[in-house]
Amino acid sequence: MIVMKFGGTSVQDAAAIDRAAAIVRGRLAEKPVVVVSALSKVTDALLGVGRAAGGGDRDGALDLARGLRERHYNTASELLGTSVFTGFHAELEVEFDALDELLRGIAAVGEITPRTSDLVVSFGERLSSKIVASTLQARGMEAVHVDARELLLTDDAHTRAIPQFEETYERFQARVKPLVIKGQVPVMGGFIGSTRQGVTTTIGRGGGDFSAAIAGAGLGLLVSQLLTLYITPVLYTYLENLQKRFGTFRPIADEEPTPRGAAE
């Protein structure tokens, strides 16, 4: 079993997602679990949308959200083709309608809190992971979308939430590992989680890579397995520091392999 992490530039458009799907296909024998970031620049765009709404600019926020809607629709349509996209369109529409309703509420209050900011920003990974899962399915892979918020349990420190590791690991064992055993390819977003009360949280910028590391630990993989295959050398140092801080990751192998880049 392996964890494959695709960052924003790796899922930035239809061509990039198609390449990512081909990489996943090439690793099917290794039983992959896929973790994805939001499409490139979408997190920043959502932060801007939230700020506009929080400043009372309802129309401006909705206009920005409309641009994101069109980008995701166009990306999914190009990947899936007309017949498949027709059914999938409704699923994306539900998400964007929920985002629009949230923005109207924020604009009415005239303030955006860390809690509501987390909810706004979460749409990036929620949407990208659904698009990637549907793309894998359309290319003949038995992919299944998993909502990361049902797996990654955190505290309520919004915008910088701390994962609750042991229970999160238990959730991965109970909900993700059986899917892999059945030959399915779980696809989830990084960066997002939820509190025990089900309130959406984020674990800070760069949290997508952290989510992938947590997935690997939760599934019983060595940190070295995760890093060697899919994460850059810069992240290797980052995760080493996290290991020292939290002491929660599995041991690194004695013979330390050289990390390979995510573009490989």
CB distance 80 to 134 below 8 Å:
yes
pLDDT at residue 222 in the model: 63
Q: What is the pLDDT of residues 39-49, one digit of tens each?
A: 999 999 999 99
- pLDDT digit string, tens, across residues 139-162: 999 999 999 999 999 999 999 999
- Kindly report the pTM of this predicted structure: 0.86
**Tokens of residue 44, six digits:** 């920043």
Polymer length of the chain = 264
